[in-house]
Structure 1
Amino acid sequence: MLVKTSKEIESITEIDEEVWKPPLPPTDLVFDDEEVLESNRHRLNINALIRSVQQAFVGRNDFFTGGNMFIYYSSAQVRNQDYKGPDFFVVLN
């Protein structure tokens, strides 16, 4: 049985990080549409919807739910201002 020392493990980790570096996201994306939420109650409702979906899909790992975020399909849409900023959304895989 072979046991790797911490130095061997360290060097493997360093190599892996050098081989694969995740692409950096664009830095010129719109992050604010200057529209404020209607009220705190509005935000509480968004949170309730998110929690409801998470509870309904408990045990699944093929979905994402969020709120008050911009959704981009391509960087070209940013230039055309063709993006959505829904209050609540669910993405299914």
Structure 2
Amino acid sequence: MLIPDPEGQVRLDYPDGPGEHFILGDITTMDRQPWNCCPRSFLRRALADLKAETGLNLVAAFEHEFHYDAADDRVGDSYSVGSLRGSRNSSTS
């Protein structure tokens, strides 16, 4: 299951139209235990292990990715907000 994390909420407002709003979440088993391959849970475990073994705290994040194949090619714009917005616009035109 995907359990939304209210602290993983992102909202991007644009002056020229609708914004983007998404919420990151944790992937769990059906009994709500962290799934071993959940990127967020994996990062939490790695950070806890680092702290336990070295006493160090590391500020880190994982990369949230997706693939959308119905938009026009946007060379050099692959991982930008502009590309996300372009995919939304081309899917409605």
* Fold conserved between structures, TM > 0.5: no
TM-score of the pair, normalised by structure 1? 0.31
Determine which structure has more spread, i.e. the larger CA radius of gyration: 1
TM-score of the pair, normalised by structure 2? 0.31
Query: When you count helix as a share of all residues, which structure comes out higher?
Result: 1
| Greater relative contact order (Cα < 8 A, sep 6+) | 1
